[in-house]
Amino acid sequence: MKIFIFFVICSFLWIIPLAAVEFDTSTGEEDIVFMSTDGEVNLGDSLAKSVARQFYIVKDADMQEKVEKIGQRIAAVCDRKDIIYHFAVIDLKGADRQDDKPIINAFSIPGGYVYVFKDLYNKAANDDELAGVIAHEVGHIVGRHGVKRMQMAFGANLLMILGSQAQTDGHAGRAFEAINTLMMSYGRDDELFADKMAVKYTKKAEYNPEAVPDFLEKLWEVEKDEPLRPYISQRSHPYLAVRIAKAKEEVLGKMDFNSYINLPTDQQRN
């Protein structure tokens, strides 16, 4: 029996070095992530190749330069400096776009990659709103939310396979599935954390942090006016009223009356 316990303990100790403690979430808790920073970077590099196959990298130098410049200003003040950040504007490929409905969305993948859809870029009224969106996605990377989400969806072993630099075509389907998973809804705590970081980072990078709730209100109008489609801010639904109220509270130090009355009833009780 003692020998058995010894082997169990040794096995457990062998696993521990593979795990990393993630950045504190909005709940103040820490989660174990079974992927090192190097592994996450490899995963991001691998998935970025799949993004390039699945989407169209917009060939507009001025547009790409602006997003890259804003992104690097946000990255310079964020809480995670152990990775290199990459920013790009993307769109659906011609054959994939079946209607004229805009794709007002952005997403990030592990390892420091942030993608902004062209329609969102055009929807943003100014650099401050773009900075708020980009800072939100950087917040997800800082919190390692993508790694955790994929770890839950696919398991630690497949995560390691997807992160291999020698990813084969046999795993391409899984890579596309992983990207689509990252584009869909996070949990409310992750979204609120990313919004909180967006306010913090836009302020530190000398953008106007009020643009964070301002753009969330634009997303809310889009959701109310149009049916949701696969790539349109499903991540935010159904928490936008809560996110707007919390973001305004983060910026102003208090919740305004309009935000309060738009909160779900259960949130007003809390």
Full pLDDT tens readout for the chain, 270 residues: 444 333 333 333 333 334 555 545 544 566 677 788 998 998 899 889 889 988 999 999 999 999 999 999 999 999 999 999 999 999 987 656 666 778 889 999 999 999 999 999 999 999 999 999 999 999 999 999 988 888 777 676 666 666 554 454 455 566 667 777 677 667 888 899 999 999 999 999 999 999 999 999 998 887 776 654 554 444 444 478 889 989 999 998 866 656 555 555 545 444
Dihedral of alpha carbons 180, 183, 184, 185, sign: positive
How far apart, in whole angstroms, are the C-alpha atoms of residue 225 and residue 237? Answer: 14
Three-class HEC string of 78-108: CCCCCCCCEEEEEECCHHHCCCCCCCCCEEE
Domain spans, the chain: 2-269
- The SS3 of residue 117 is strand
pTM of the model: 0.80
Q: Measured between alpha carbons, how far apart are the two ends of the chain, in Å?
A: 50
Query: Angle, nearest 10°, between helix axes 127-142 and 61-77?
Result: 50
The DSSP bridge partners found for residue 89 are 116
Give kind and range of the element (H or E) at residue 258. Answer: helix 257-262
Residue 75 near residue 68, CB atoms below 8 Å: no
Closest C-alpha to 33, from 193, 151, 164, 189: 151
Dihedral angle over CA of 53, 58, 62, 64, nearest 10? -40
Query: Angle, nearest 10°, between helix axes 188-204 and 127-142?
Result: 130
Give kind and range of the element (H or E) at residue 146. Answer: helix 145-162
> What is the distance, to the nearest Å, from the Cα of residue 46 to the centroid of all Cα atoms in its chain?
17
The DSSP bridge partners found for residue 33 are 20
- The SS3 of residue 133 is helix
How far apart, in whole angstroms, are the C-alpha atoms of residue 267 and residue 270? Answer: 5
